[in-house]
Amino acid sequence: MNKHLDVSPRVAAALSEGKPVVALESTIISHGMPYPKNVETALLVEQTIREAGAEPATIAVIGGRLKAGLSREEIEYLGKAGRNVAKASRRDLPALVARGADGATTVATTMIIAHMAGIRIFATGGIGGVHRGAETSMDISADLEELAQTPVMVVCAGAKSILDLGLTLEYLETKGVPVIGYGTEELPAFYTRKSGFGVDYRVDSPRELASIFRAQRELDYRGGMLVTNPIPEEYAMDKAVIDAAIEQALSECKAQGVHGKETTPFLLARVVELTGGDSLDSNIQLVLNNARLAAQTAVELRQ
């Protein structure tokens, strides 16, 4: 066990008993939603995972300690602190640990800490990817590099639709990361079920997902696996509406000089405003949907 890692008693017991565990990120708590909706959603996602037969492990950095499994009080603390908590990617962990600081984990850092703790499956909303205009800005999320090197299955609703989805898929292909569509042959686009881009394989059951991931681990592959799970149809947004909001948010982002790790939180928050809150409701529902599938797959993986 890494000396900087704390595994909560519930998560430690589940792991030692061979029970299924699902990791969850904490950026969605501090940077993804306003308080108290962020705390309510985090607790509801944990409840959804338990109801599906697995133990949730929300991951964060608190007081310089890497945490696999948070208490209700710790989730409340992150929710109230909001953006005062650092958004922590791979490059940030050494400084946060050395300084005894707090950090809300992105997809990349959640994968790192989950792997340290022995957790194989992780549910999130959407991954980061190649940003629009990356051919000049070189703005490519560390999430993609982590998927190429850390053996964790990431269940998501596709890449965030604020990104260049075609280039994101090309990057994942170059890195050898399998992109699997759950019940679909087309990459979901976060708020909408279709993007126009195909996935590598279609899978129609949690058992088959677990079987493919088990085979990947037995082959001793270095990287992870991306499972893209479309938002439930009743919560999907109209493509024209969300595309218009994204285009306006991107224009404002450029005009205001927002860049780097602040780009995604700015864009997502602005899209929520431009859609009158509809995108926030969709975001919550797709996270719950991903958590449920991740838990079902974790249960199958332990069979």
Active-site residues, by number, are 25, 160
The single-letter code of the amino acid at 89 is: S
Q: Residues 248-252: contacts with CB within 8 Å, 24+ apart?
A: 248/274, 249/162, 249/274, 250/132, 250/162
Query: For residues 220 and 33, what is the distance between their CA atoms, to the nearest angstrom?
Result: 37
Task: Provide DSSP, 135-185.
Answer: HHH--B-HHHHHHHHS--EEEESBB-TTB-HHHHHHHHHHTT--EEEES-S
Three-state secondary structure readout of 253-298:
HHHCCCCHHHHHHHHHHHHHHHCCCHHHHHHHHHHHHHHHHHHHHH
CB atoms within 10 A of CB 135: 9
Query: For residues 162 and 132, what is the distance between their CA atoms, to the nearest angstrom?
Result: 8
Q: How distant, in Å, are the alpha carbons of 106, 206, 281, 294 from that of 45?
A: 17, 18, 14, 11
Q: Which residues contact 23 (CB under 8 A, 6 or more apart)?
A: 57, 58, 59, 68, 110, 111, 113, 114, 117, 119, 121, 122, 123, 152
Token duo for residue 245: 């909001």
